[in-house]
Structure 1
């Protein structure tokens, strides 16, 4: 897939920035998520209600992901528009859009989780249609109503490809999580260490997923073609 190839290139060229964002944004958010879900899960564990634990895990995870997407989307957008990335803008965009992403992710996360509870397929459909929300907001800076509409349109028109991307990364994450958990069980059940390894794994893999979707969105909204057209016109003018 061309988008994945571009994502790899962006990841490779900005690996130190990816690590910086991972350590300063992605890892802390994951740590907060882990602490919160442990506290929330306590009463449900006491009353042996695992379903409710899974529900809150799903909701909190989706909320966290929406916020974590922001600096990575900004990185992909800068790379496409400018051919370079400014670290300061990554943090600036994170501060600018984090609250919006947090607020809108609450009802969206509940809706997607409900879809997964009813049956897996509705959850997947809702995820594909609504996961574009932070991409639309950061890249196009639209108002909430337009953000949702554009996200749904993007999801509809790229449904199969986005499902494929989700499936690939979900499979990789599942295998990685299994291997880390297995290693922890071998090492006398060191689950705390396993959790740290899982967070680091997510910190390294999530950027590639976001870059792939962001590149797809930038093509879908026409921005990539417009930038290429402008560059082509500039080249023609140089030869006149």
Structure 2
């Protein structure tokens, strides 16, 4: 896992401006839409003091948004792994190509996962880890629904502890950073809106590290990274012959 994090940081560093572009044009707008939709849907429940339903819808929409946000970031790391270069246009083509499929499949996944978290936490965590690979399978291999489900569960089983550890690590980092940003934003401005913007910008920069790390784990798992390394090795041998 440590090696995957290091590789992810390398991808982040080499493609920082593309990550920033993706953040400004895709991640930030999706987060903004998510915030508006959640506030709109939660308003009636908050008015009648029914927080459970507000939290339920918040969890559902969060996972649905995450599935869409993952697409361009996965496309970036897959392109670099395969060809050692990234076509920015293809990132947006892949976003358009896979959004509808992942949006549809995220609906039942997000509902079941959120209910699992609310019931006993552990079922929700297990479902999240088993479904985490779906966007990676689809963007990397463009598989069918059956193939996406099967490979995502297999990937989740084999890397259960790694994914669980990554989720806990990034959740802890996000919590600490969010706490500090909230404290500073409210202390300096007193405006909750500034806090929301600060948190969205934080996620825009932090989330790609997590996605790149899981993408590296997936590409190692499906054997594609090994094939790329072997091709590079044989090409290097040919140059010396």
**CA separation in 2, counterparts of 1:64 and 1:134?**
12
Match of 1:223 in 2: 224
Match of 1:39 in 2: 40
Q: Note the alpha carbon deviations across 1:78-107, whole angstroms, 9 max, x for none.
A: 110011111001001000001111111110
Counterpart secondary structure, 1:84 = coil
Counterpart secondary structure, 1:110 = helix
Q: How does 1:1-240 map to 2 (within 5 A)?
A: 1-187=2-188, 189-240=190-241
TM-score when normalising by structure 1 = 0.98
Structure 1 pair 17–188 and aligned structure 2 pair: CA distance change class (3 A): closer
Counterpart secondary structure, 2:59 = helix
Count of paired positions: 240
Q: Note the alpha carbon deviations across 1:13-49, whole angstroms, 9 max, x for none.
A: 1000000000000000000001101100110011101
TM-score when normalising by structure 2 = 0.97
Counterpart secondary structure, 2:49 = coil
Q: Note the alpha carbon deviations across 1:123-153, whole angstroms, 9 max, x for none.
A: 1111111111000000011001110110000
**CA separation in 1, counterparts of 2:102 and 2:173?**
26
Alpha-carbon offset, residue 232 of structure 1: 1.6
Q: Which runs of 4+ in 1 moved over 6 A?
A: none
Unaligned stretches of 5+ in structure 1?
Answer: none
Instruction: Say what the alpha-carbon RMSD is for the aligned residues.
Output: 1.0
Unaligned stretches of 5+ in structure 2?
Answer: none
**CA separation in 2, counterparts of 1:229 and 1:14?**
24
**CA separation in 1, counterparts of 2:221 and 2:61?**
29
